[in-house]
Structure 1
Amino acid sequence: MMSLSKLNSIIVRQKCVPLASMATLKSANAHFTTNTFLSAKLAQEKKPDWNRAVSEAEKIVGYPTSFLSLRWLLSDEIANVALHLRKLVGSNHPLLKTAKNLLYNGKNNMQAWGLIVLLVSKAAGHTSDIPDLEQDKAAGVLHSQRALAEVTEMIRTSHLVHKGLVNLQPSSADASGDMMFGNKIALLSGDYLLSNSCAELANLRNQDLVELMSSAVRDLAEAEFVGPRDKQNNPLPARPRPDIVEYKQFPDKTLEPLVVSEALGNARAEWTLRHVLNAGSLLGKSCQGTLKLAGHPLELQEQGYLFGKHLALAWQACLDREPFLPGGSGPFSLVCAPVMFSLQHDPNLYKEIEKGQETVDDVDYEAVRKAVLSGPGLELTKKLQKEHSNAALEVLNQLPASDARTALANIIAAMQDL
């Protein structure tokens, strides 16, 4: 059995090998077969929890990994936002929950998105023609890749902040009070982050990358118009279709919009469509973009997109299961995978969903939870999560063995620990 110290020395030597072409990658696969197995085995034996997996990953790419660093938190603009947020305490405005999630240390930690992009950057390496001044040799990534990781987080955070806007009715008593003030802060804060992400993206001076990330922003916006909604724009699942036709509108490489209408009512296709638009597109195209910045061939860039997309979908399936674990209570997303699979299994459950057309608060969540727990929804969601996790690992295992690749494998493994 190879010693751990010897394994580590092999990994350290191999992580510095640049990945110049798809042909080089394929030839390297045969050489790294044994070490790939050992690294995967090492990742499994550790059985990492989420917090430890993220903590170890951050050490690999260096600090700061997030735009939420001292450079941002101590800026005048963010300080002013924090000051205004204090005025909303006690108002129950959704923006407060979003702000809490920004710093929440758990599986819905938004800051991990930039970390994923940096880990992919380090795991793949870069071509030999990248100028020395562009390289952050201490972290093993390019300065442009770190900037793209920040752009990814800012785009995602601005989208989530904008989703916290409350649709105030003209007759509402809060139309001119705390809710209106919270809406102004949410709108301006989201716009500030989005405008800064556009400025940082433009500074990279890469037209193809700008087009790629712009299409991801388009997908985020389109996600807010998929399927039925209540008056607060909370999503509701579409009525289940009696005839389930295979949906084939998820191409591996395209900048074109996805076809929405054909997916609605088909549980798996609708869930996938919603979350490719809402998350998978941004993370996938960010991983694709970071490989573009490193000078890798188009084939590997497209594999980067698939890795990010499948990882985001596995992540979402993991989050969708949490409200139905023992001890779970309170509201949950009505377009989560367990609910949508349960609706496909028992279309009569949709009568309960229809009560939420005015507001999702009218839905009897405990009745829906009971139906989910008694049906195949949770098991199908677990299967869905495993499929996307395996798809992400399949792409990941094409890269040379390294500490960054092991960290990504540990993050995927931590999702399974539910």
Structure 2
Amino acid sequence: MTSVTSLFSPVDHDLTILSANLKELVGAQHPILSAAAEHLFGAGGKRLRPAIVLLVSRGTMLNQDITPRHRRLAEITEMIHTASLVHDDVVDESEIRRNVATVNSLFGNRIAVLAGDFLFAQSSWYLANLDNLEVVKLLSEVIRDFAEGEIRQGLNRFDTSLSLEAYLEKSYFKTASLMANSAKAAGVLSGVSDAIANDLYNYGRHLGLSFQIVDDILDFTASSEVLGKPAGSDLISGNLTAPALYAMEESPYLATLIEREFSEEGDIEEAIALVNQGNGIERSRELAAHHSQQAIESLQNLKPSDCHQALMDLADYILTRMY
């Protein structure tokens, strides 16, 4: 099976430069913030979001090299993403992520919140220094969307009346907004037409939604070792995702279990079994495939290149994570 890192081969060297730069960019004066940054960026990760920015940058600058502003945008994108994860882990009281201890479990909630704030502040400062108002607006919207998504998720815990549309909107705020707006921003820095910039936005939007839906499927179908967090953790915390929403349509009793917040012995196990037994997983796979296909179609006006092909292959690859 194709690995995600092999898909990034056209920007391998760019990602190596990015990893080296990230630790320098967040070089905080305070040793604890420095230690938190070292922990976050030393852990690696797939660098999916900056890779998308770099692939779009090279795919829209075919006859010339990408600029330092393209590189800085990729770095800002990873900083914003990482800041959001730090805050997410505090809100969710998570102790591990990608099988690595979270900042809040190592340093405490207070330092974790400050570390997340610091990363958002640093990314905003570097963003302003790109001196491109449209790009500033696009990425500032992402930071606002993160907060909106987190608030909505908190308000809708154990809410069995949540619609699929509301779930997708929240998924856009929490995941797809960064991919959509950073892909468009890379095109803006390359000087593409408004039509191509909007295509790039739609690519990131649909890719992000497909990615999130697949993640939500894996929460039910993958092991704790693969997930890097406990299986079924979204449902247990009252975060209702596509598989559970579809399953409730088939098994109304699932709604009863959710509404009483799994207060009785065996409730959680029964709820997870109901999701896995019905068509909720399969319908969610179809939804993810739909958004993956929409992402690919959004790229039809981009000129052919290795980076263009990698972006399309990435949309297909996301679906293979389900199996």
Counterpart pick for 2:280 among 340, 362, 377? 377
Contact 1:72/1:78, CA 8 A, preserved across alignment: no
- Which residue matches 1:208? 134
The Cα of 1:228 is off from its aligned counterpart by: 5.4
Shift of 1:340: 1.8
Q: Which residue of 2 aligns with 1:257?
A: none
Cα distance per residue 1:200-259 (max 9 Å; x no partner): 111111122222222221111111221554xxxxx625323xxxxxxxxxxxxxxxxxxx
- Equivalent residue runs for 1:13-412 within 5 Å: 47-54=1-8, 56-59=9-12, 61=14, 63-66=16-19, 69-72=22-25, 75=27, 77=29, 80-81=32-33, 83=35, 103=43, 105=45, 109=46, 111-125=47-61, 140-165=65-90, 182-226=108-152, 229=155, 236-240=157-161, 265-267=162-164, 269-325=165-221, 330-334=231-235, 335-356=240-261, 364-412=267-315
Q: 1:228 to 1:80 in 2, by over 3 A?
A: closer
Could you tell me how far apart the structure 2 residues matched to 1:411 and 1:384 are? 17
Runs of 4+ in 1 over 6 A off after TM superposition: none
With over 3 angstroms needed to count, the CA separation of the structure-2 counterparts of 1:67 and 1:353, relative to structure 1, is: farther
Identify the residue that residue 100 of structure 2 maps to in structure 1. none
C-alpha contact (below 8 Å) 1:66/1:149 kept by paired residues: no
Cα drift, residue 332 of structure 1: 2.4
Deviation at 1:287, TM superposition (A): 1.0
Stretch deviating more after TM superposition (152-161 or 75-84): 75-84
The one-letter code matched in structure 2 to 1:212 is: L
Change (3 A) 1:122 1:60: farther
2: CA distance between counterparts of 1:362 and 1:77? Answer: 49
The normalised TM-score by structure 2 is 0.81
Is residue 48–residue 413 contact of structure 1 (8 Å, CA) maintained in 2? no
**Contact 1:81 1:189 (8 Å CA) reproduced:** yes
Aligned Cα RMSD in Å? 3.3
Offset at residue 292 of structure 1 (A): 1.1
Contact 1:121 1:290 in 2 (8 A): yes
Q: Which has the higher contact order (CA 8 A, sep 6+)?
A: 1
Q: Please give the alpha-carbon distance, in whole angstroms, between the structure 2 residues aligned to 1:363 and 1:208.
A: 52
TM-fit CA distance, 1:307: 0.5
Where in structure 2 are there 5+ consecutive unaligned residues?
A: 94-103, 225-229
- Deviation of 1:366 after TM superposition, in Å, equals 2.0
Contact 2:207 2:292 in 1 (8 A): yes
Change (3 A) 1:332 1:294: same
Q: CA 1:228–1:416 in structure 2 vs 1: closer, same or farther (change >3 Å)?
A: closer
Mark the structure with the bigger radius of gyration: 1
Query: What is the total number of aligned residue pairs between the two structures?
Result: 302
Structure 1 SS opposite 2:108: helix
State the 1:182 CA deviation. 0.7
Aligned to 1:414: 317
